[in-house]
């Protein structure tokens, strides 16, 4: 996924850095960036979000989870 626009969101209660991003097709997403040291917790959170999404709850849909040498992204 390639982002063409990235605007930081400074609201919320988590320690994650949050961004409103737009991909090359114009789709808009919430990108969350967290410290790599909590990757396992973020993997669990992502799986729970997928389960809740399958139930049809009104929420941000989990699309992808990945990491690099610095952070974990969802």
Tell me what pLDDT residue 1 has. Answer: 76
What DSSP string runs through 13-74?
A: SSSSEEEEEEETTS-EEEEEEEEGGGHHHHHHHHHHHHHHHHTT-SSPPP---EE-SSEEE-
In this structure, the number of other CB atoms found within 10 A of the CB of residue 31 comes to: 19
Confidence label for 68 from pLDDT (cuts 50, 70 and 90): very high
Model pLDDT for residues 4-55, shown as the tens digit of each residue = 999 999 998 989 999 999 999 999 999 999 999 999 999 999 999 999 999 9
């Amino acid at each position: 996924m390639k982002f063409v626009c990235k605007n930081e969101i400074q609201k919320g209660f988590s320690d994650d850095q949050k961004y409103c991003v737009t991909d090359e097709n114009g789709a808009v997403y919430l990108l969350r960036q967290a410290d790599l040291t909590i990757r396992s917790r973020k993997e669990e959170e992502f799986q729970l979000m997928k389960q809740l999404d399958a139930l049809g709850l009104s929420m941000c849909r989990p699309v992808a989870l990945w990491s690099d040498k610095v952070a974990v992204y969802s």
